[in-house]
Amino acid sequence: MDNVVITGMGGSAIGGEIVKSLLLADTSIPVMVWRDYRLPPMVGRRTVLFASSYSGNTEETIAAYLSGRERGVQIFVLTSGGRLAEMAAGDGVPLIKIPSGMPPRAAIGFMSIPILVVLNKLGLCHNYEDDIMETEILLKERMNFWRRRASALGNFLFKQIPIIYSMSRVLDWVGYRWQCQLNENAKVIAHHGCLPEQSHNEVMGFGAPDFINKRIFIIGLFDKKSAHHRTLIRFQEMVKLLRGYIAGFRIYETEGKSLLARMFSLSVFGDLVSVMLAKQRGVDPLTIPRIDELKGSLSRRKM
Ligand code: PA5
Protein backbone atom coordinates (compact mmCIF):
# COMPACT_ATOMS: atom_id res chain seq x y z
CA MET A 1 0.00 0.00 0.00
CA ASP A 2 1.22 3.51 -0.82
CA ASN A 3 -0.55 5.63 1.76
CA VAL A 4 -3.14 5.79 4.51
CA VAL A 5 -5.88 8.43 4.48
CA ILE A 6 -8.27 9.10 7.32
CA THR A 7 -11.23 11.23 6.42
CA GLY A 8 -13.46 12.87 9.00
CA MET A 9 -14.39 16.20 10.54
CA GLY A 10 -14.01 17.79 13.98
CA GLY A 11 -13.97 15.30 16.83
CA SER A 12 -14.03 12.43 14.35
CA ALA A 13 -10.82 13.51 12.64
CA ILE A 14 -8.67 13.72 15.74
CA GLY A 15 -8.23 9.93 15.93
CA GLY A 16 -6.61 10.15 12.51
CA GLU A 17 -4.21 12.80 13.78
CA ILE A 18 -3.05 10.47 16.55
CA VAL A 19 -2.37 7.72 14.02
CA LYS A 20 -0.58 10.19 11.75
CA SER A 21 1.73 11.38 14.54
CA LEU A 22 2.57 7.83 15.62
CA LEU A 23 3.29 6.62 12.10
CA LEU A 24 5.27 9.77 11.34
CA ALA A 25 7.66 8.76 14.10
CA ASP A 26 7.68 5.03 13.29
CA THR A 27 7.19 4.16 9.63
CA SER A 28 7.80 5.44 6.13
CA ILE A 29 4.19 5.16 4.97
CA PRO A 30 2.59 8.58 4.51
CA VAL A 31 -0.59 9.23 6.49
CA MET A 32 -2.95 12.06 5.68
CA VAL A 33 -5.97 13.36 7.57
CA TRP A 34 -8.52 14.65 5.08
CA ARG A 35 -11.13 17.12 6.33
CA ASP A 36 -13.13 17.90 3.22
CA TYR A 37 -15.69 16.56 0.74
CA ARG A 38 -13.89 15.26 -2.36
CA LEU A 39 -10.80 13.10 -1.84
CA PRO A 40 -7.52 14.30 -3.39
CA PRO A 41 -6.08 12.55 -6.51
CA MET A 42 -3.43 10.68 -4.45
CA VAL A 43 -6.22 8.46 -3.06
CA GLY A 44 -6.50 5.37 -5.24
CA ARG A 45 -6.40 1.59 -5.28
CA ARG A 46 -3.16 1.56 -3.28
CA THR A 47 -4.66 3.65 -0.44
CA VAL A 48 -6.13 2.39 2.81
CA LEU A 49 -8.98 4.76 3.58
CA PHE A 50 -10.72 5.15 6.93
CA ALA A 51 -14.01 7.08 6.87
CA SER A 52 -14.58 8.28 10.41
CA SER A 53 -17.80 9.93 11.56
CA TYR A 54 -19.18 9.45 15.04
CA SER A 55 -22.76 10.21 14.03
CA GLY A 56 -22.36 8.67 10.60
CA ASN A 57 -24.27 11.60 9.13
CA THR A 58 -21.57 14.19 8.46
CA GLU A 59 -21.96 15.29 4.85
CA GLU A 60 -18.25 15.88 4.14
CA THR A 61 -17.34 12.38 5.36
CA ILE A 62 -20.19 10.78 3.43
CA ALA A 63 -19.06 12.58 0.27
CA ALA A 64 -15.45 11.45 0.83
CA TYR A 65 -16.64 7.86 1.43
CA LEU A 66 -18.59 7.95 -1.84
CA SER A 67 -15.62 9.28 -3.77
CA GLY A 68 -13.50 6.48 -2.26
CA ARG A 69 -16.09 3.90 -3.37
CA GLU A 70 -16.09 5.29 -6.91
CA ARG A 71 -12.32 4.87 -7.08
CA GLY A 72 -12.34 1.31 -5.76
CA VAL A 73 -10.36 2.21 -2.64
CA GLN A 74 -10.07 -0.23 0.28
CA ILE A 75 -12.26 1.43 2.93
CA PHE A 76 -12.90 0.91 6.63
CA VAL A 77 -15.72 2.82 8.31
CA LEU A 78 -15.68 4.00 11.93
CA THR A 79 -19.05 5.15 13.19
CA SER A 80 -21.72 4.68 15.83
CA GLY A 81 -24.49 4.48 13.19
CA GLY A 82 -26.26 6.84 10.78
CA ARG A 83 -26.06 6.81 6.99
CA LEU A 84 -22.43 5.79 6.94
CA ALA A 85 -23.21 2.59 8.87
CA GLU A 86 -26.08 1.85 6.47
CA MET A 87 -23.94 2.47 3.40
CA ALA A 88 -21.05 0.35 4.74
CA ALA A 89 -23.46 -2.51 5.46
CA GLY A 90 -25.01 -2.19 1.98
CA ASP A 91 -21.62 -1.98 0.25
CA GLY A 92 -20.01 -4.80 2.25
CA VAL A 93 -17.40 -2.37 3.62
CA PRO A 94 -15.81 -3.36 6.98
CA LEU A 95 -17.50 -1.43 9.77
CA ILE A 96 -15.90 -0.61 13.12
CA LYS A 97 -18.87 0.09 15.35
CA ILE A 98 -18.29 2.75 18.02
CA PRO A 99 -20.53 2.79 21.12
CA SER A 100 -23.18 5.51 20.85
CA GLY A 101 -24.31 8.10 23.41
CA MET A 102 -21.26 10.31 23.84
CA PRO A 103 -20.06 13.54 22.22
CA PRO A 104 -17.88 12.62 19.19
CA ARG A 105 -14.87 14.39 20.70
CA ALA A 106 -15.08 12.19 23.79
CA ALA A 107 -14.77 9.04 21.67
CA ILE A 108 -11.12 9.82 20.89
CA GLY A 109 -9.90 6.36 22.00
CA PHE A 110 -12.56 4.57 19.95
CA MET A 111 -11.69 6.66 16.89
CA SER A 112 -7.92 6.07 17.06
CA ILE A 113 -6.98 2.69 18.57
CA PRO A 114 -9.02 0.54 16.10
CA ILE A 115 -7.21 2.25 13.20
CA LEU A 116 -3.87 1.22 14.71
CA VAL A 117 -5.11 -2.36 15.12
CA VAL A 118 -6.26 -2.56 11.48
CA LEU A 119 -3.01 -1.04 10.17
CA ASN A 120 -1.02 -3.50 12.26
CA LYS A 121 -3.04 -6.41 10.86
CA LEU A 122 -2.33 -5.10 7.35
CA GLY A 123 1.38 -5.06 8.20
CA LEU A 124 1.61 -1.27 7.88
CA CYS A 125 2.68 -0.45 11.44
CA HIS A 126 3.94 -2.20 14.51
CA ASN A 127 1.83 -3.52 17.37
CA TYR A 128 0.99 -0.71 19.79
CA GLU A 129 -0.49 -2.94 22.47
CA ASP A 130 2.17 -2.17 25.10
CA ASP A 131 1.89 1.55 24.42
CA ILE A 132 -1.89 1.38 24.75
CA MET A 133 -1.54 -0.41 28.09
CA GLU A 134 0.99 2.14 29.29
CA THR A 135 -1.32 4.98 28.27
CA GLU A 136 -4.26 3.47 30.12
CA ILE A 137 -2.25 3.05 33.32
CA LEU A 138 -0.76 6.55 33.09
CA LEU A 139 -4.17 8.16 32.60
CA LYS A 140 -5.59 6.34 35.61
CA GLU A 141 -2.61 7.19 37.80
CA ARG A 142 -2.34 10.87 36.89
CA MET A 143 -6.01 11.82 36.46
CA ASN A 144 -6.49 13.32 39.93
CA PHE A 145 -3.35 15.37 39.72
CA TRP A 146 -4.23 16.65 36.21
CA ARG A 147 -7.73 17.47 37.38
CA ARG A 148 -6.39 19.71 40.17
CA ARG A 149 -3.91 21.36 37.84
CA ALA A 150 -6.61 21.80 35.17
CA SER A 151 -8.91 23.42 37.68
CA ALA A 152 -6.26 26.02 38.52
CA LEU A 153 -5.52 26.74 34.85
CA GLY A 154 -9.24 26.74 33.95
CA ASN A 155 -9.94 29.37 36.63
CA PHE A 156 -6.98 31.39 35.48
CA LEU A 157 -8.08 31.33 31.83
CA PHE A 158 -11.50 32.73 32.72
CA LYS A 159 -10.68 36.21 31.42
CA GLN A 160 -7.89 35.31 29.01
CA ILE A 161 -7.59 34.27 25.36
CA PRO A 162 -5.63 31.01 25.23
CA ILE A 163 -3.05 30.52 22.48
CA ILE A 164 -1.51 27.07 22.44
CA TYR A 165 1.90 26.46 20.90
CA SER A 166 3.12 22.92 20.28
CA MET A 167 6.87 22.53 20.38
CA SER A 168 7.14 19.45 18.15
CA ARG A 169 5.31 18.22 15.04
CA VAL A 170 3.95 15.16 16.84
CA LEU A 171 2.25 17.51 19.33
CA ASP A 172 0.69 19.63 16.61
CA TRP A 173 -2.61 17.75 16.87
CA VAL A 174 -2.52 18.05 20.68
CA GLY A 175 -2.42 21.85 20.40
CA TYR A 176 -5.26 21.73 17.90
CA ARG A 177 -7.20 19.42 20.22
CA TRP A 178 -6.78 21.99 23.03
CA GLN A 179 -8.12 24.68 20.72
CA CYS A 180 -11.13 22.60 19.61
CA GLN A 181 -11.95 21.45 23.14
CA LEU A 182 -11.79 25.03 24.42
CA ASN A 183 -14.05 26.09 21.51
CA GLU A 184 -16.61 23.29 21.84
CA ASN A 185 -16.62 22.52 25.57
CA ALA A 186 -15.88 25.92 27.12
CA LYS A 187 -17.32 27.96 24.22
CA VAL A 188 -14.37 30.35 24.10
CA ILE A 189 -12.19 31.53 21.28
CA ALA A 190 -8.74 29.92 21.24
CA HIS A 191 -5.95 29.47 18.74
CA HIS A 192 -3.07 27.08 18.21
CA GLY A 193 0.19 27.03 16.31
CA CYS A 194 3.34 24.96 16.09
CA LEU A 195 6.95 25.98 16.59
CA PRO A 196 9.36 26.55 14.93
CA GLU A 197 7.11 27.75 12.05
CA GLN A 198 5.09 30.12 14.23
CA SER A 199 8.19 32.12 15.13
CA HIS A 200 8.70 32.98 11.45
CA ASN A 201 5.37 34.78 11.01
CA GLU A 202 2.76 34.75 13.77
CA VAL A 203 5.14 36.17 16.35
CA MET A 204 4.86 39.50 14.51
CA GLY A 205 1.11 39.62 15.16
CA PHE A 206 1.45 40.38 18.86
CA GLY A 207 1.12 44.09 19.40
CA ALA A 208 -2.21 45.10 17.96
CA PRO A 209 -4.95 45.52 18.83
CA ASP A 210 -3.56 46.24 22.26
CA PHE A 211 -6.71 45.43 24.27
CA ILE A 212 -6.72 41.89 22.82
CA ASN A 213 -3.01 41.22 23.16
CA LYS A 214 -3.02 42.06 26.86
CA ARG A 215 -5.55 39.25 27.36
CA ILE A 216 -3.55 36.57 25.55
CA PHE A 217 -2.14 33.75 27.61
CA ILE A 218 0.33 31.43 25.86
CA ILE A 219 0.38 27.74 26.70
CA GLY A 220 3.50 25.93 25.48
CA LEU A 221 3.24 22.15 24.98
CA PHE A 222 6.61 20.48 25.28
CA ASP A 223 7.80 16.92 24.75
CA LYS A 224 11.47 16.52 25.54
CA LYS A 225 11.89 13.33 23.49
CA SER A 226 10.46 14.64 20.22
CA ALA A 227 11.29 18.35 20.31
CA HIS A 228 14.49 19.62 18.78
CA HIS A 229 16.55 21.18 21.59
CA ARG A 230 16.58 24.52 19.73
CA THR A 231 12.78 24.70 19.75
CA LEU A 232 12.52 25.13 23.51
CA ILE A 233 15.23 27.80 23.38
CA ARG A 234 13.30 29.43 20.53
CA PHE A 235 10.11 29.43 22.63
CA GLN A 236 11.92 30.90 25.64
CA GLU A 237 13.50 33.66 23.57
CA MET A 238 10.19 34.40 21.88
CA VAL A 239 8.25 34.85 25.13
CA LYS A 240 11.01 37.13 26.38
CA LEU A 241 10.36 39.34 23.35
CA LEU A 242 6.64 39.24 24.00
CA ARG A 243 6.92 40.43 27.60
CA GLY A 244 4.61 43.42 27.98
CA TYR A 245 2.51 42.38 24.97
CA ILE A 246 0.77 39.33 26.44
CA ALA A 247 -0.78 38.42 29.79
CA GLY A 248 1.73 35.62 30.40
CA PHE A 249 2.77 32.11 29.49
CA ARG A 250 3.25 28.66 30.95
CA ILE A 251 4.87 25.47 29.66
CA TYR A 252 3.38 22.03 30.19
CA GLU A 253 5.45 18.93 29.59
CA THR A 254 4.38 15.45 28.47
CA GLU A 255 4.52 12.50 30.85
CA GLY A 256 5.03 8.81 30.11
CA LYS A 257 7.41 6.68 28.04
CA SER A 258 5.80 5.84 24.70
CA LEU A 259 4.81 8.55 22.25
CA LEU A 260 1.17 7.47 22.53
CA ALA A 261 1.16 7.94 26.32
CA ARG A 262 3.06 11.22 26.06
CA MET A 263 0.65 12.66 23.51
CA PHE A 264 -2.38 11.54 25.52
CA SER A 265 -0.94 12.97 28.76
CA LEU A 266 -1.18 16.52 27.41
CA SER A 267 -4.28 15.96 25.34
CA VAL A 268 -6.30 14.66 28.30
CA PHE A 269 -4.96 17.49 30.43
CA GLY A 270 -6.26 19.95 27.80
CA ASP A 271 -9.64 18.20 27.80
CA LEU A 272 -9.84 18.68 31.56
CA VAL A 273 -8.88 22.35 31.29
CA SER A 274 -11.70 22.91 28.78
CA VAL A 275 -14.25 21.26 31.07
CA MET A 276 -13.04 23.22 34.10
CA LEU A 277 -13.29 26.44 32.11
CA ALA A 278 -16.79 25.47 30.98
CA LYS A 279 -17.75 24.98 34.62
CA GLN A 280 -16.26 28.32 35.58
CA ARG A 281 -18.21 29.98 32.74
CA GLY A 282 -21.43 28.18 33.60
CA VAL A 283 -21.80 26.59 30.13
CA ASP A 284 -22.65 22.99 29.24
CA PRO A 285 -19.55 21.27 27.81
CA LEU A 286 -21.64 18.53 26.18
CA THR A 287 -23.84 20.62 23.89
CA ILE A 288 -22.77 22.35 20.66
CA PRO A 289 -25.95 24.20 19.57
CA ARG A 290 -24.34 26.39 16.91
CA ILE A 291 -22.74 23.39 15.15
CA ASP A 292 -26.05 21.48 15.33
CA GLU A 293 -27.96 24.44 13.94
CA LEU A 294 -25.50 24.84 11.09
CA LYS A 295 -25.74 21.13 10.22
CA GLY A 296 -29.54 21.43 10.35
CA SER A 297 -29.69 24.41 7.99
CA LEU A 298 -27.20 22.80 5.59
CA SER A 299 -29.26 19.63 5.48
CA ARG A 300 -32.21 21.69 4.21
CA ARG A 301 -30.09 23.07 1.34
CA LYS A 302 -29.62 21.10 -1.89
CA MET A 303 -26.44 18.97 -1.88
O1 PA5 B 1 -17.15 17.46 18.52
C2 PA5 B 1 -18.10 17.45 17.74
O3 PA5 B 1 -19.25 17.13 18.07
C4 PA5 B 1 -17.88 17.86 16.30
O5 PA5 B 1 -16.61 18.37 16.10
C6 PA5 B 1 -18.16 16.65 15.38
O7 PA5 B 1 -17.21 15.64 15.63
C8 PA5 B 1 -18.13 17.08 13.90
O9 PA5 B 1 -19.13 18.03 13.66
C10 PA5 B 1 -18.33 15.90 12.96
O11 PA5 B 1 -19.46 15.14 13.32
P12 PA5 B 1 -19.30 13.55 13.45
O13 PA5 B 1 -18.25 13.33 14.50
O14 PA5 B 1 -20.63 13.05 13.87
O15 PA5 B 1 -18.89 13.08 12.11
- The Cα 191–Cα 56 span in angstroms is 28
pLDDT of 203 > 90? The answer is: yes
Model pTM score:
0.96
* Ligand 1 atom index nearest CA of 105: 1
Residue-level pLDDT at 37: 97
| Mean pLDDT rounded to a whole number for the chain | 96
- The Cα 97–Cα 99 span in angstroms is 7
Residue-level pLDDT at 136: 97
Confidence of residue 302 (pLDDT cuts 50, 70, 90): confident
Residue-level pLDDT at 213: 84
Instruction: Tell which one of 9, 17, 293 to mutate to probe ligand 1, the residue whose CB is within 8 A of the most ligand atoms.
Output: 9
pLDDT of 271 > 90? The answer is: yes
What percentage of the chain has pLDDT greater than the value 90?
93
* Ligand 1 atom index nearest CA of 103: 3
Q: Give me ligand 1 centre to Cα 291, in Å.
A: 9
Q: Give me ligand 1 centre to Cα 238, in Å.
A: 35
Q: List the single range of 61-70, 123-132, 205-214, 266-275 with lowest mean pLDDT.
A: 205-214
Q: Give me ligand 1 centre to Cα 104, in Å.
A: 5
**Backbone phi, then psi, for 253, in 5-degree steps?**
-110, 150
- Residues annotated as part of the active site: 184, 200, 295
Q: What is the pLDDT of residues 68-119, one digit of tens each?
A: 999 999 999 999 999 999 999 999 999 999 999 999 999 999 999 999 999 9
Instruction: Tell which one of 110, 284, 291 to mutate to probe ligand 1, the residue whose CB is within 8 A of the most ligand atoms.
Output: 291
Q: Ligand 1: residues whose CB is within 6 Å?
A: 9-12, 53-55, 58, 61, 103-105, 184, 288, 291
Residue-level pLDDT at 212: 85
Average pLDDT over residues 294-301: 94
